[in-house]
Amino acid sequence: MSSIFVVESFGVAADADEINLREAAWEFALDQRAFGPRRLLVAFGARDGRMVGLAHARRTNRPEFALAACIDHAGRGTALALAFCDERVVEGPPAPGLSERWALHRRIAQDFGVVLIDWFDCDDLCIRSTKLALHPDREWWDM
C-alpha cells in the first residue's frame, strides 16, 4: 500500500456488561457512523457471540485493506468478526461481483483465523447485509 492509515481499537473490560454480537449486529450497523464518516468498523467476538473488541479505520478505496488492517491490529485470536462499511447502499438486487467480493472478505478474515460472519454496507439511509443479500434462505449466524 502506498499510504499509511490509523487503526483504532477498543477491548471489552472483563466486568463490562456483555454485548452479544448476534443480537446487536443491526444496532452496530445503525450506529457505525458514530466513529465518523467513511469508516470501516469491525466488531470481534468469541464463538458464543460475546463481543471482545472493536477496531475501526478510514475506509480505503479497496475496503479489504482496511479490513485486513483492523483484523491484524485487534482481531488476532478472536473467533469471529462483523464488518460495517460506510459506503453507498444501492436498493435492488445485489450488485454484480458481490459474491466474489464477499468471498474475498471471508478469505482475508480466514487468513487471520477469524470467521467473518457478515459485511454490512451502511449509509445515511440504508443498511445491507451482504450475507442476507446473497443467501436469504441460509442461517445468518454460521458459527
Q: Which comes out higher in pLDDT, residue 129 or 35?
A: 129
Strands 80-86 and 115-122: parallel
What is the distance between the alpha carbons of residues 117 and 106, in angstroms, rounded to a whole number? 8
For domain 7-134, the CATH architecture is 3-Layer(aba) Sandwich (3.40)
pLDDT above 90 covers a percentage of the chain that reads 73
According to DSSP, the β-strands at 7-11 and 115-122 are unpaired
Residue with cell 475496503: 63
Residue 92 grid coordinates: 435492488
What is the pLDDT at residue 143? 66
Give the closest residue to 85 by CA, choosing from 58, 50, 114.
Answer: 58
List, for residues 26-75, the tens digit of each pLDDT value: 998 988 888 888 999 999 999 999 999 999 999 999 999 999 999 999 99
The pTM of the full predicted model, rounded to 2 decimals, is 0.93
